[in-house]
A and B are shown apart, each in its own frame.
Chain A
Amino acid sequence: MDFIFFLEVLAGGLLAGVMYALVALGFVLIYKASGVFNFAQGAMVFFAALTYASLLKLGMPWWGALVATLAVMVVLGVAIERVVLRPLVNQPPITLFMATIGLTFVLEGLSQLVWGTQPHNLELGVSDVPMESLSRATGINISQFELFAAGVAGILVAVLAVFFQYTRVGRALRAVADDHQAALAVGIPLQHIWAIVWAVAGFVALVAGLLWGARTGVQYALTFIALKALPVLILGGFESILGAIVGGLIIGATEKLAEVYLGPMVGGGIESWFAYVVALLFLLVRPEGLFGEKHIDRV
């Protein structure tokens, strides 16, 4: 029984980690292409989920709402790049970071202004109760939804990986991430690239928003997920898509295992800081994260 329980906690942790990774992916995309740490990713997730849920409530069919929300997120992404980031192009990273925090406020206010303050239920048609067959056979409770989320995350990562490796736009993105000046010199249109990146990040936010919204309901607290994605980024490295997934899995698993096994010894509630401490300890050993690029400081 105990080993089965351990497996269950582990499985739950891994799947939670997948959900974190989805949010972290958005961060990675933007950081990879423009060096901006987009703290507003959490608010974007919330905005996407809220838009979708509200459109559904207004009576749109689910595919219509999906397309509409996607369009909105793309437009939002492009607008953010244009209005907020382009004027701040050469500023130090902390200024950009603060600008994205300001952006978080704007998005949160906008979401509640446009769509109201009521929380919504989000049904994706995939049930979130334990699968009978599995629990009878092995005693482990995993729901269809969790497998669905894992599958979606896997597909998303694969699509993004293919996008970055094999398409022209993807290669241009990697060039821009490497060196803006050189990319300009080769003739890559920087502004277009950044707009594309933000649009793709908006799309990733939508996917994350849908999955998280289905899991916990669509309400303001979705914006706090961004905070959970930070340790994932640290572990995986700010610039690596694979790192986001691996980091997410590690953080999710260790966090849940710690809460269940270590938590009761110290009074519980250690989830609030455990992921961060793990990331911190990891940083002391490997400052760039698992798959991050090594930083060379020239004096």
Chain B
Amino acid sequence: MNRTAISTAALAIAAAGLPAPAGAQMEQFIPANFYWVGPYAASGTGFAAGILDYFAMLNERDKGINGVRLTWEKCETEYNNARGVECYERQKKKGPTGATVMHPLSTGITYSILEKATADKIPVISMGYGRTDASDGRVFPYIFPLITNYWSQNTAKIKFIGQKEGGMDKLKGKKIANLYHDSAYGKETIPVLDVQAKKYGFQVTHIPVPHPGNEQQSQWLQIRQLKPDWVILRGWGVMSPTALKTAARVGYPRDKIIAVWWSGAEEDAIPAGDAAKGYITAGFNLPGTSYPVMQDVLKHVYKKGKGEFEDPSRIGSIYHTRGVVAGIVTTEAIRTAQERFGKGKPITGEQMRWGIENLNITEARLKQLGAVGLMAPLKISCMDHEGGGPVKFLQWDGKAFKPVSDWVPTDQSIVRPMIEASASQYALDNKITPRDCSKEK
């Protein structure tokens, strides 16, 4: 390598380490640490587009939040913990008040930055993934597994199965297979399923699929032997379409397969072709472009050529609207914080934490936002960092996901005790004193 290349490289690296020049002061900086390459790029690009499109729409339509424009900078994490940590460290001091909030979009990265973010006073929103016991806000003040965590959505699934069977009492004696991705993410729901199996009397069999999951012949043959009434698909990436195709090959009816939302997007159904028809997925957001907020995104962002997607057919897909929901949650929290700490000024991470903890998106507010039906109303509190959001079930008909149920509430009576037990164990292990929510304002 010649000298000039080395010296340019050295200069650039040095420049990267320097603090960013002080830009306009009326800006709210939000890091966009997502993944645009690798095996999960389809999901990462969808979500990133959703959240950034929403921010762009607010900037265009409303000039930001009470005059404070939203800014962001992208950093590629490749769904890799080490890169996620590096992106976090690089972005956390940018902007006039530092990074406002982190959306890691990866359970592994959430775990890795958990303690750092708490120490740096930057809230982490792990919407629909992440550390489940962080739902107990007394032990994890800065972590927010919003809307629904893994255990809650699992209880909603069992409730839905119960509904389909004609009542929770009809679950007794039924067989459910839990086909999960052999990773930390996949194993999360094993305990809550075991607890529910004991409670309702059904038999659950856990079958792991080794990463990456592009071969499931043996697993599905086992399922065929087992003849379960329902299969819960807890996949990620290529595991999901392979599961559907293999299910078709062994002759298991797809409409008895209920997937997690990380297995329930267009990117999971389309590669499986006809084999995917009829499978059901849980979701906390719905797809589509008919919602007024999506129409606004189209009008203010895509028509002006500022949209993130190059392929317009992806607008309104599940990951896209999931990103929009993340955008809504983030900006509503900023708004809430501004009400308390000063309208029209950028807020700090600590203030944002308060904003998220006191978030209350009512049905009326959803109507104002133009997102009725896109997501359910959400209320967060010090005790409950999740929001206990309900889950809707969608079915793939070959072209799109259509809702086949109402909003099914989760069963907190099962989930909450487990969360509190796990959180207090964490507090004990790490010598953390849980907050007293009644004393906080």
- Docked pose: A51 CA to B43 CA in angstroms: 21
B41 at the interface (CB under 8 A from A): yes
Q: How far is the CA of A222 from the CA of B213 in the complex (A)?
A: 10
Q: Which chain B residues numbered 210 to 243 have a C-beta less than 8 Å away from chain A?
A: 210-215, 217-219, 221-222, 224-225, 237-238, 241-242
Task: Give which listed residue, B42, B217, B222, contacts A219 with CB less than 8 A.
Answer: B42
- Asked if A183 is at the interface (CB within 8 A of a chain B CB), the reply is no
Q: How many A-B residue pairs have CB under 8 A?
A: 125
**Stretch of A62-70, A234-242, A256-264 that contacts chain B:** A256-264
Query: Are the C-beta atoms of B267 and A119 separated by less than 8 Å?
Result: yes
**Given A13-B217, A217-B245, A272-B211, are A121 and B272 neighbors across the interface (CB < 8 Å)?**
yes
Among A4-12, A84-92, A172-180, A277-285, the one that faces the other chain is: A4-12
B373 interfacial contact with A, CB 8 Å: no
Return chain A residues, CB-CB under 8 Å to B273: 121, 123, 217
Q: CA A112 – CA B206 in complex, angstroms?
A: 34
Contact A128 B245 (CB under 8 A): yes
Give the residues in chain B near A8, CB-CB below 8 Å: 221
B358 in the interface (beta carbon within 8 A)? no
Are A116 and B245 CB-contacts (below 8 A) given A16-B215, A221-B39?
Answer: no
User: Within 8 Å of chain B (Cβ to Cβ): is A162?
Assistant: no
Determine if B218 and A118 form an interchain contact, defined as CB atoms under 8 angstroms apart: no
Whole-angstrom distance from the CB of A194 to the nearest CB of chain B?
A: 29
Does B275 belong to the interface (CB within 8 Å)?
yes
Q: Is the Cβ of B271 less than 8 Å from the Cβ of A119?
A: yes
Known A118-B311, A269-B208; contact A12-B41, beta-carbon cutoff 8 A: no
Q: How large is the interface on A (under 10, 10 to 19, 20 to 34, 35 or more residues)?
A: 35 or more
In the bound complex, what is the Cα–Cα distance between A184 and B271 (angstroms)? Answer: 48
Q: Is the CB of A128 within 8 A of B248?
A: yes
In the bound complex, what is the Cα–Cα distance between A123 and B274 (angstroms)? Answer: 10
Contact A259-B42, Cβ < 8 Å, known A117-B37, A269-B209, A271-B210: no
B195 at the interface (CB under 8 A from A): no
Which residues of B from 394 to 410 have beta carbons under 8 Å from A? none
Question: Is A286 in the interface zone, CB < 8 Å from B?
Answer: no
A5 with B271, Cβ < 8 A, contacts A128-B248, A129-B249, A220-B39 known: no
Docked complex Cα distance between A215 and B237 (Å): 15
| In contact, B250 and A130 (Cβ under 8 angstroms) | yes
Chain A residue with minimal CB distance to B310?
Answer: A116
Report the minimum CB–CB distance from B114 to chain A (whole Å): 27
Find out whether the CB atom of A141 lies under 8 angstroms from the CB atom of B41: no
Chain A residues closer than 8 Å to B192, beta-carbon distance: none
A109 within 8 A of B: yes
Residue of B nearest to A120 (CB): B271
Q: Is there a chain B Cβ closer than 8 Å to A267's Cβ?
A: yes
* A205-247 interface with B by 8 A CB criterion: 215-222, 224-225, 228
Q: Which listed residue (A216, A255, A267) contacts B214, Cβ 8 A? A: A216
How would residues 21 to 44 of chain B score, 1 for a CB under 8 Å from any chain A CB and 0 otherwise?
Answer: 000000000000000111101100
A189 within 8 Å of B (CB atoms)? no
Given contacts A121-B273, A129-B251, A216-B271, contact A269 B311 (CB under 8 A): no
Within 8 A of B (CB), among A106-163: 109, 112, 116-123, 128-130, 135, 141, 143
Q: Is A102 an interface residue, CB under 8 A from the partner?
A: no
Q: Are B270 and A121 in contact (CB under 8 A)?
A: yes
| Beta-carbon nearest neighbor of B239 in chain A | A221
**A256 to B222 Cα, complex, angstroms:** 11
Q: Which residues of A contact B217 (CB under 8 A)?
A: 12-13, 16, 256
Asked if A93 is at the interface of the complex by the 8 Å CB criterion, the answer is no
Partner of B218 from A121, A215, A260 at Cβ < 8 Å: A260
Contact B210 A269, beta carbon cutoff 8 Å: yes
**Docked pose: A256 CA to B250 CA in angstroms:** 15
A-facing residues in B306-359 (Cβ within 8 Å) = 310-311, 314
Nearest CB on A from B165, distance (A): 26
Most buried by B among A5, A16, A216: A216
Query: Which residue of chain B is the closest to A263 with respect to CB atoms?
Result: B218
Once the chains are docked, how many angstroms separate the CA of A141 from the CA of B250? 7
CA–CA, A267 and B225, complex, Å: 17
| Chain A hits for B208, CB < 8 A | 267-269
CB pair B271 A217 closer than 8 Å:
yes
Interface presence of B85 (CB below 8 A): no
> Within 8 Å CB of A215, what residues of B?
242, 245
Q: Is B68 an interface residue (CB 8 A)?
A: no
Q: Are A217 and B221 in contact (CB under 8 A)?
A: no
What is the minimal beta-carbon distance from A259 to any residue of chain B, in angstroms? 4
Assess A217 versus B242: contact at CB under 8 Å? Given A5-B221, A259-B218: yes
Instruction: Look across to chain B and name the residue whose beta carbon is closest to the beta carbon of A257.
Output: B218
Q: Are A9 and B221 in contact (CB under 8 A)?
A: yes
| Bound: A123/B271 CA distance, A | 10
Distance in angstroms between the alpha carbons of A25 and B160 in the assembled complex: 47
Q: Determine which of A5, A120, A263 lies in contact with B270 in the assembled complex, contact meaning CB atoms within 8 Å.
A: A120
- Measured in the bound complex, the distance between the Cα atoms of B286 and A120 in whole Å is 22
State in angstroms the CA–CA spacing of A256 and B44 once bound together.
Answer: 33
In the complex, what's the smallest C-beta–C-beta distance from B254 to chain A, in angstroms? 11
27 contacts between A and B (CB under 8 A): A9-B218, A12-B217, A12-B221, A116-B310, A116-B311, A117-B42, A117-B45, A129-B251, A141-B250, A143-B249, A219-B42, A219-B241, A220-B39, A221-B213, A221-B237, A222-B214, A255-B218, A259-B219, A263-B218, A263-B222, A268-B182, A268-B207, A269-B208, A271-B210, A271-B218, A272-B210, A272-B211
A-B complex: 8 closest residue pairs judged by Cβ atoms? A217-B271, A221-B238, A272-B210, A117-B41, A259-B218, A269-B208, A220-B39, A121-B273
